[in-house]
Amino acid sequence: GIQVEQSPPDLILQEGANSTLRCNFSDSVNNLQWFHQNPWGQLINLFYIPSGTKQNGRLSATTVATERYSLLYISSSQTTDSGVYFCAVPAYGGSQGNLIFGKGTKLSVKP
């Protein structure tokens, strides 16, 4: 099945710093999503981005489907950005509701 790898696994930043999170996937996909899981476990959908670039405030995401990777950019980080960031793609051959998640990047933003 499709494999999803995220890097780095852990990231510690000072407030105000910028960061780039990476998601590599092993097969062609028609759908890629980024999620943020806060320290209380809530998963929030950040972007649905099968290709191209999208921006939402201090966050932006780029997916290069032909090269099988996606990047999540966080600018001017804040302590509230802390948590785990996941990317997810549909499982090959599965129902579209079957998402394969990476292991995540744990981000800690220090004041």
Partner 1 sequence: DAGVTQSPTHLIKTRGQHVTLRCSPISGHKSVSWYQQVLGQGPQFIFQYYEKEERGRGNFPDRFSARQFPNYSSELNVNALLLGDSALYLCASTEGAGGYGYTFGSGTRLTVV
Contacts to partner 1 by CB under 8 A:
4, 31, 33, 35, 40-45, 48, 86, 88, 90-91, 94-104
Nearer Cβ to partner 1, position 13 or 49?
A: 49
CB 105 within 8 A of CB 24: no
CB 42 within 8 A of CB 35: no
The least distance separating partner 1 from the CB of residue 90, rounded to whole angstroms, comes to 5
Nearer Cβ to partner 1, position 18 or 38?
A: 38
The least distance separating partner 1 from the CB of residue 37, rounded to whole angstroms, comes to 9
The distance of Cα 30 from the centroid of its chain, to the nearest Å, equals 16
Nearer Cβ to partner 1, position 97 or 111?
A: 97
CA dihedral 10, 55, 81, 7 (to 10 degrees): -10
The least distance separating partner 1 from the CB of residue 82, rounded to whole angstroms, comes to 16
Residue (of 108, 91, 88, 102) closest to 47 by Cα position: 88
